[in-house]
Amino acid sequence: DIQMTQSPSSLSASVGDRVTITCQASQDISNYLNWYQQKPGKAPKLLIYDASNLETGVPSRFSGSGSGTDFTFTISSLQPEDIATYYCQQYDNLPPIFGPGTKVDIK
């Protein structure tokens, strides 16, 4: 199985800050990577697919980039409603593995 890692595991930032999360795959997955947001007590929500494509209706302050093994997820200006855990997920191979998550808090 492909292994996914994320860093950091958690972060605190101020409203308006730029936030960056990285995700690394254990082997080349091209751009077959998705990002999800999960708020406490809620199901995950798809934000970005194919590493950099914004899902319909998702605010443009969210973005993703990368290919191969290294990927980046960015919130350009952190908002209070962005408090959540963010997960990357590869779909290059079965099983579709999720990363361990990054918890984002407001400082």
Write out the residues near other proteins by the rule CB under 8 A: 1, 32, 34, 36, 38, 42-46, 49, 55, 87, 89, 91-101
Strand partners, 74: 20, 63
Alpha-carbon gap, residue 16 to 12, rounded angstroms: 12
- Using the minimum distance from each CB to other proteins, give the nearer residue, 45 or 61: 45
Minimal distance in Å, beta carbon 65 to other proteins? 17
Minimal distance in Å, beta carbon 95 to other proteins? 5
**∠ CA 79-77-74 to the nearest 5 degrees?**
110
